[in-house]
Amino acid sequence: MSGPLEVVVFGKEGCHLCDEVKAEIASLGEFADALTVVDIEKDSGLRARYWMRIPVVTVGGREVFEASMMDLKGMWRKRLPGLLRG
């Protein structure tokens, strides 16, 4: 991958799943500086695209994770680093 890594979490204020994903990414030191959070409530196009799927995570513009991948046992936390690395 050329250029700096860009990890974006699309979510909204008050979304506990979004907060969990942001915290997990931030805890992975190699991705913390690359993390950008986008509030879908501030853009009607993003809200329409992501509303039923948040949190949605992209790496370099490619969607790699969404809420449907989260499970109650927390296994998604073990899979997330691999998804971020590609």
Q: Which pLDDT score is estimated for 86?
A: 84
With 0-12 / 13-18 / 19 or more C-beta atoms within 10 angstroms meaning exposed / middle / buried, residue 25 is buried
**Where exactly are the structural domains of the chain?**
7-85
Whole-number Å distance between alpha carbons of 48 and 30: 31
Q: Which pLDDT score is estimated for 15?
A: 97
Question: What does CATH list as the number for 7-85?
Answer: 3.40.30.10
Query: What's the pLDDT tens digit per position in 20-62?
Result: 999 999 999 888 888 999 999 999 999 999 999 999 999 999 9
Mean pLDDT of the chain: 93
Percent of the chain past pLDDT 90, that is, above it, reads 83
Percent of the chain past pLDDT 70, that is, above it, reads 95
